[in-house]
Every structure is written in C-alpha cells, then in structure tokens.
Structure 1
Amino acid sequence: MPPPPVRRVLFVPLLFLLTLLLVALFPLVWPVAALASRIGGGRNRAVRLLWFALAWATLESAAVLTLALLWLRHPGRARADALRDRHYAVIGRYVTGLHRAATRRLGLRIEESGSWEPPNPRGRPLIVLSRHAGPGDALLLVHHLLAVYRRRPRVVMKALLQLDPCIDIAGNRLPNVFVAPGDGAAERIGELATGLGPRDALVIFPEGGNFTPDRRRRAIRRLNRDRRTREAARAARMRHVMPPRSGGALAALAAAPDADVVFVAHHGLEGMAGAADVWRQVPLTGAVRAHWWRVAAEDVPAGEQARIDWLYAHWEQVDAWIAAQNARHDQER
C-alpha cells in the first residue's frame, strides 16, 4: 500500500479527472448506452449504470473537496467532537446520495426486519457484527447507522480500500481501522473499541471478506489446520456464511464491556460477485432483505471459549435466516 502522500497525489487528481471526463462525455455516451440497453433486452442496464457512475463520481468528488477544505481549516485528525461530527456529516451526505442513486437507477429496494434499538434506548455504544456478501453492503450499513439511528460508525476495513480517495481521507481522519493480513488486527480493533461512547457504533465484518463458496471452504480448511476442529465442524454445517474470525470480535467485546451487540444478516446482494454479475442483475428485481437483532451487554457471556461459542451460535442464526430467504426466493420465482 503506497504511503498517504503518494495515494493523495496519485488518486485524488485521477478521481477529479475521471469525474470531469464523465461529465463532459456524458451527452455523447448516453445515446450509445441507450442503444446498448435496447439491444441488451430493454432493461436499460447501460443507461442505469452510466447514470449511477455519474452520481458516484460527482458525489465522491464533492466529498473529497469538502474534506480538503476541512483539513485546510483544521489540519490533523478530527479529534474534537464538533469537528468529528462535521466529518461524519460529509460521509452521511455521500452515502445517502449513493443510496438514493442506487434506489433510483439500479432498482435497490430494502426490506428490514428485526430489532435494532430496544423499546427504551439506553444510550449504550454498539458493536455491530455483520455478514459480508455482495457489493455495497458496507456502505448500506454505514448509511443506516448515520441516517436512521444517528450513530457515528467506527469501521474495520481492508487496507486496500484506502485506494479510494474518499474512504482514504475520511477513514484516516476519523476513528477507523484498516487491516491487512498479519498486521495484528485484533489488537488494533481492541484499541478502536476503547472509549466507545453512547453515540458510537463499531462495525466489524467477522468473516473477513465477501462470502464465496471457495472462501468458505478455505476458511474451514484453515480451522482444521489450526486444530480448531470443533469450530471447523460447526462451520461446515453453515452453508451460506463463512466461519466468523473471533479475534477482532473478542477484542472489541473485551475493550467495550458496556456495549450492546447487534448482529446483521442480509440477503439479495450475494449474487453480484463480479462486473458480469452486476450487468446481468441490474436493475434489481427483488428486494434486498436485512434482518438484525440486538444482544444486551449483560447477556454476553464471560470467558474466551464461552464467547467463541456464543459468536458461533449467533452466526448459525445468520446462516439459518439466509437459508430461509433462499427458500422464500425460490418460492417467489
């Protein structure tokens, strides 16, 4: 991963250049996209994706410009609460714009179920443990936290995401963690969870990456190699998720013992693993269903092995819920 100055010098001008090219060429490209859409079956795929690309580029460029202005006024990390909130507001406008564009242009429709907040919210911090499958699920979750529940997300992300200028600049100014294999992620996640406030939510994707069958099989083999045979056996019975990597979740629970835990399952994005899959499925014809449940801090067991068993038990609930959605989807076809 290039150091921050190199990333900013290379990728920020590239973002602005691509945005300007897209805006300038849009009137010329749009008729071609419209023709391709008609040839491709009349679902307006090319036009929809072109409009979404324009929305993404302009939203990201506007966010990066605003972040640059904030940095000029307040160099360094956004430590003060007021300044941190201004950064979260920038990210909120960005992800809300992407959500609106995906709804309008790509046919995104979300159906929600479950209990996120208790009937009488107690102002506790949250540790959010989410399934990871399909493009954009992290952005949808961040949008939900910011726009619906007014939470300030602290997100555990892959280091490669720093190649995106907006994620790079905002992510490194706000309390987040970028992880790469073998870099002591659990310890850094524990540090990130330390000092979580009642408005904060720590977001972790325990699977470590987007679900694919091959990744699931490799994860089970890794558990067997590490002689964690009990966990490997439980993971083998879960067909729709990868086994959760417990290190980061356990570190977060230990560092924030007063935090409630929210588990998030979703269904409807996993079929879009690559560009060809996205092309085939746009516009989305079915809803993306999301389901969550909240566990109070006092109901989280003590002890490492007890917490691993508890994490696997909830991940088995995620797997069972996805299986039920697959069956529902098959019935509706």
Structure 2
Amino acid sequence: MLPPRIFRRLVLAPLVIVATVFMLVTLPFWLVVTAAASLRLPPPQRRGARFVWFGVVWLTLESAVLMACLWLWVAGGARRQERHYGLIRWFLQKVYAAAVRIFRLTMDIEEPELTADERSARLTRPIIVLSRHAGPGDSFLLIYHLLAGYQRRPRIVMKAALQYDPSLDVVINRLPNAFVPRKSGQTRIIDEIRRLSATMEDQDALVIFPEGGNFTPRRRRLAIRRLEEKGLAEEAKRARGMDHLLPPRPNGAIAAIEACPSADVIFVAHTGLDDLITMGDVWRKLPLSAHITAKWWRVPADQVPTAREERIRWLYDHWEQIDSWISAQRLARTP
C-alpha cells in the first residue's frame, strides 16, 4: 500500500538527499570494492563500476530536482506547468548524457518522411503515441525524445507504485498525468486515458503502451490464452504470429482516439536492449556498448479508422508491422 502523500514528502524525499550525500562521500570506497570484485571477470562482465557511477549520477539529479521543486513551491510556481516540463527535460537530458558516457549508449531513430504541410501539422496537432514496451528505460527514452526533440508535453498513465520515487512523485503529480493503483480495474485506467486525451492541446502528447507491460515470453503465452478464453480467435491467431510483442489491448488506444479525434497517431518500435527483461538480465548481460534502434510511423487523424472493429484490426496491423521490423533488425545484427 502506498504511503500517504505527507509521509512521502517529509520522509522519502529527504531520504533521497541523505542517500545522495552518503554515496558522494563514500564513492571512492564503492569504486574500489566494485573494481576488486570485477578483477576475475572478463571485461564485458565488469559492470559494477559503471552501475555505481550511474547510480550516483541518478541520485544527484533526483536531489537537484527535489530542491528545484521545493523552490518552485516556496516561490509560488508549483502550478506553472512549463517550468515543470522544463525540469523534466533537464533531468532526462542529463540522464541520457550520463547513459551515453557510462554505457556508451547510442540511439538511431528512423522517422517517416513528411511533406511541408505534414511538418507544420506535426507541430500544431496533439498526438497519441502507441509504443511497444520492452527493455530497460524505454519509457524514459521515449519521453526524453518527445520533450527534447519534438517540444511536446507528454501525458502518461502510470502505476501508482512509481510514486515511491520522490522526484517522479512530486513533478508528475503537478502535471496532467495519472497514477493508478495496481489493483485498479480496466475501467479506471480507461477513464484516466479518456480524461487526459480529452483535454489535450496542440503541443500535448498522450503516451500509451498498449501491451500493458514489458514483453516476456511468459506474458505472451498468457495473453494469447486470455484471447482464446474470450473467444477472440482472430486476435489470438494474429498474436501467435508475433514473436516479439504482446498482443495489444485495444481499449485504451480506442478511448484516447475517441476522446481526441483531432490527434495524429504515432506508432513506435524499438529494439536493441529488449532482451534485458529483469534487473538480473541488466546486471549480467548489459553490453559494453549499448545501441538502440527505433522507428516511428505517423498516421494523420483523418486516416484513422472510425469503426471500433476496424480500429482493432488497424491496431493489430501496425503491431504486426512493428514485429516484422524488429525481426528484420535482429536479422541484420546477426553475424
């Protein structure tokens, strides 16, 4: 059960700052310990020092964000959304830069070619982003590129447990987003998606992960079984044909489109670190150089199907396209 907000503000937030100071003071000790522990490991497995460095950077940035939020609250700027979007942008820029230096992260994004009119519309229409969900940090990278590369104001429905992260808790609760408890029914989630989508303006972007969670082979099997139990034979058949994705749950995407019919729809595929499913995978398998490839497809609002059954088939069509693209990318990387 999530602690009340007053506890999170008065206990968890200061605890992050205390932990940051402790790690900064004892950093040489942790670097020596991790270096000594890695001596008998081959170079690709010597990840301890890199994780220590990244952890210290993350904590330092978290503390900076918390102090900035406190200053905005004292100065009466807690309701100014642009300042908080700027704060998120700054945080993610620094995290991304740290990942580039520490984990040698590189990212290539292939975007659709746009006409002059489409480029203009891209900046003056709200968008609904439907992305696959797999690998460590994919949501952070997506939000970073929406903020930094496209000057968008992202909105997202998240698990309430993420409010254990104090900086995320403070900043996100001051912006049009939604946290939903773990045991919330599908109706609550759809209602929040509809609420966020209905109030979008030109620079807003609603981010949805239709799979409902990170891909794992077990989740894929269970999702296909659920479709079969519901009598959705066509969807189950199409889901079995996708090797890298969970079948999309259409209700959230359809609710968002219905609530904001003027929005363009962006489909996002990415691959590179999606085999790192658990924290243990990240610790054992993170390569010396991390590379992510992404591709975006844009569907103008007037080309989105109108009938519900057509929208479900259309969503599966794009999900199959994403799955095929991932297969091609993996084949291209295979020696």
TM-score normalised by L of structure 1: 0.93
Partner residue of 2:90?
93
Distance in 2 (alpha carbons) for counterparts of 1:14 and 1:274:
26
Q: Which amino acid aligns with 1:73?
A: A
Q: Which moved more, 1:50-59 or 1:229-238?
A: 229-238
Distance in 1 (alpha carbons) for counterparts of 2:201 and 2:288:
37
Q: Which moved more, 1:258-267 or 1:276-285?
A: 276-285
* 1:148-204 Cα distance to aligned partner (Å, 9 max, x none): 111111112222211111111111110112233416111110010012111111111
Cα distance 1:269–1:118, how it changes in 2: closer, same or farther (>3 A)?
farther
Partner residue of 1:125?
126
Match of 1:68 among 50, 62, 70: 70
Q: After TM superposition, list the pairs within 5 Å mapping 1:1-333 onto structure 2.
A: 1-43=2-44, 44-74=46-76, 78=79, 83-115=80-112, 119=116, 120-122=119-121, 123-179=124-180, 180=182, 181-182=184-185, 184-331=188-335
Distance in 1 (alpha carbons) for counterparts of 2:113 and 2:263:
13
Q: Which amino acid aligns with 2:237?
A: A
Distance in 1 (alpha carbons) for counterparts of 2:23 and 2:58:
11
Three-state SS of the structure 2 residue aligned to 1:38 is coil
Q: Which amino acid aligns with 1:209?
A: G
Q: How much does 1:210 deviate?
A: 0.6
Gaps of 5+ in 2: none
Gaps of 5+ in 1: none
Distance in 1 (alpha carbons) for counterparts of 2:136 and 2:76:
33
Three-state SS of the structure 1 residue aligned to 2:43 is coil
Q: Work out whether residues 107 and 282 of structure 1, in 8 Å CA contact, stay in contact via their aligned partners in 2.
A: no
Three-state SS of the structure 1 residue aligned to 2:244 is coil
Three-state SS of the structure 1 residue aligned to 2:246 is coil
Cα distance 1:319–1:201, how it changes in 2: closer, same or farther (>3 A)?
same
Distance in 1 (alpha carbons) for counterparts of 2:328 and 2:7:
47
TM-score normalised by L of structure 2: 0.92
Distance in 1 (alpha carbons) for counterparts of 2:11 and 2:232:
43
Q: How much does 1:286 deviate?
A: 4.8
Distance in 2 (alpha carbons) for counterparts of 1:31 and 1:158:
37
Distance in 2 (alpha carbons) for counterparts of 1:23 and 1:299:
53
Aligned residues: 326
Q: Which amino acid aligns with 2:60?
A: T
Cα distance 1:41–1:185, how it changes in 2: closer, same or farther (>3 A)?
same
Three-state SS of the structure 2 residue aligned to 1:39 is coil
Distance in 2 (alpha carbons) for counterparts of 1:109 and 1:212:
24
Three-state SS of the structure 2 residue aligned to 1:289 is strand
Distance in 2 (alpha carbons) for counterparts of 1:11 and 1:251:
35
* 1:81-135 Cα distance to aligned partner (Å, 9 max, x none): xx11100011111111110111100121111112286643211111000010011
Distance in 2 (alpha carbons) for counterparts of 1:116 and 1:6:
49
Q: Which amino acid aligns with 1:94?
A: F
Cα distance 1:284–1:292, how it changes in 2: closer, same or farther (>3 A)?
farther
Q: How much does 1:224 deviate?
A: 1.8
Q: Work out whether residues 189 and 252 of structure 1, in 8 Å CA contact, stay in contact via their aligned partners in 2.
A: yes
Q: How much does 1:226 deviate?
A: 2.1
Distance in 2 (alpha carbons) for counterparts of 1:106 and 1:73:
38
Distance in 2 (alpha carbons) for counterparts of 1:74 and 1:230:
55
Q: Which amino acid aligns with 2:76?
A: H
Cα distance 1:241–1:214, how it changes in 2: closer, same or farther (>3 A)?
same
Three-state SS of the structure 1 residue aligned to 2:334 is helix
Q: How much does 1:259 deviate?
A: 0.5
Q: How much does 1:140 deviate?
A: 0.3
Q: How much does 1:284 deviate?
A: 4.0
Cα distance 1:117–1:171, how it changes in 2: closer, same or farther (>3 A)?
farther
Three-state SS of the structure 2 residue aligned to 1:216 is helix
Q: Work out whether residues 127 and 261 of structure 1, in 8 Å CA contact, stay in contact via their aligned partners in 2.
A: yes
Identity of counterpart residues, as a percentage? 46
Q: Work out whether residues 116 and 294 of structure 1, in 8 Å CA contact, stay in contact via their aligned partners in 2.
A: no
Three-state SS of the structure 1 residue aligned to 2:211 is coil
Three-state SS of the structure 1 residue aligned to 2:206 is strand
Q: Which moved more, 1:140-149 or 1:27-36?
A: 27-36
